[in-house]
Structure 1
């Protein structure tokens, strides 16, 4: 039996994307090291190869690169962010995968919420993947259908092919906007880059699901049967 539901699974794509960034970009960005080999996500099986254990996260305190133009106000930053992403990813990919409004705020909210059980689906920075979230199996033995992972293959491939240095420069140039959005979220004395470190460490410590991924549905929203994956 196969069931279709609302796109509950998009945080997995964002999480897989961040793990790939950790493998080839995030370590370079947050720890000032050379890029490591990219992690691999096998499709249809939900396998994300976790990089080798890393030392405790250390926030890179190097100042962002000097911009020739001032940053726009946070509430007017979407054209700037979309323009930069278009240069990095291409217009077709941006239109297909990126939500065009409140990008910085939505990225900050989504990353900040990632270690928690609840995600703000109305503030996601990514477009829904085509189709619906699909499960298979009986009601008392639900699993994620293999077809579901195929829906996210283009996004995962896109993230894994990002150029590290280009993305680092892009983030550093916009870092004050991310910091402002994080402060306005209720963290006036905290660093967003430090929080990003924490989220990455959390994802690295999350067990890698292999084979069929069991689900439960205590309410409308599906949850992993293995609580360690939440």
Structure 2
């Protein structure tokens, strides 16, 4: 699981203490990008606004690609009417930031989010969470200074494992995510949905629907395995004489089944069992609200 740009496996000295970090998800509630973000970890490099990039489904761990359809499977207008006076996605940053501040508070938005290119960041990140890589430059969250911590240095017979102290990094932000009011958040998502759909079409899906992709990714995240700690990791060997100035991006799971997971499922696994349970509870709650095809089923 070399993380290239993701930088989650960034070890501090062995057995060092760790402070809470970011779990990007319920903001997905706030504007529909899927509870996933509050669960995804921070980027290390300064993020840049992502341009629209066409990408095709690739990794076998990803949710199956959404088929072209004559209409959405999970129509958002079942949640709330869309705003008819929205700007184009390229000019939407100011309006989106204002609405996020009204919902979450300007201090929390400033602390945790990147509002520049926010809609495109959200769409790209949700789409990538079911794939092998979720580049951190596309995440809609602020970089944070805390580092990933491992126990053991890989020397001798002692295995290198994810430190149990890492779990504490997520607690404060899971609490914040759990406090986001889902009903008004999902209503705001529906109100802004034309922007998310436009950004999704820019990614290269002109005949597919972002809310359908969101539901598929949420379902995929709920299938993440729930192994018990400690989880063994190792450094991917590199055959080069050039000094590696960023060795933390070379960590991967020792267990090949865990290493083959998607980027989003790996994040859930790395959070630890208790945090993963809280994160999945949020994902389930969001899914109940955005999976409108099920909401429309007749009562029996």
Matched with 2:74 is 60
CA distance in 2 between counterparts of 1:95 and 1:7 reads: 22
Matched with 1:82 is 97
1:172 aligns with 2:186: no
Q: CA separation of 1:67/1:119 partners in 2, compared to 1, >3 Å: closer, same or farther? A: closer
CA distance in 2 between counterparts of 1:59 and 1:167 reads: 21
| Structure 2: segments with no counterpart, 5+ residues | 1-5, 11-20, 33-38, 40-71, 238-248, 267-300
Question: 1:121-162 deviations in whole A, cap 9, x for unaligned?
Answer: 111111123322222223262222233332332222111111
CA distance in 1 between counterparts of 2:253 and 2:149 reads: 14
Q: TM-score, normalised by structure 1?
A: 0.71
Matched with 1:224 is 253
Matched with 1:152 is 170
CA distance in 1 between counterparts of 2:9 and 2:211 reads: 25
CA distance in 2 between counterparts of 1:81 and 1:214 reads: 41
3-state SS of the aligned residue for 2:165?
Answer: helix
CA distance in 2 between counterparts of 1:107 and 1:199 reads: 13
3-state SS of the aligned residue for 1:134?
Answer: strand
User: How many residues are paired up?
Assistant: 191
* Cα pair 1:135 1:145 within 8 Å, conserved: yes
| Structure 1: segments with no counterpart, 5+ residues | 1-5, 30-40, 42-57
Over the aligned positions, Cα root-mean-square deviation in angstroms equals: 3.1
Deviates more, 1:70-79 or 1:212-221: 212-221
* Cα pair 2:81 2:191 within 8 Å, conserved: yes
3-state SS of the aligned residue for 1:151?
Answer: helix
CA distance in 1 between counterparts of 2:207 and 2:83 reads: 28
Q: CA separation of 1:67/1:90 partners in 2, compared to 1, >3 Å: closer, same or farther? A: same
Moved over 4 A (4+): 9-12
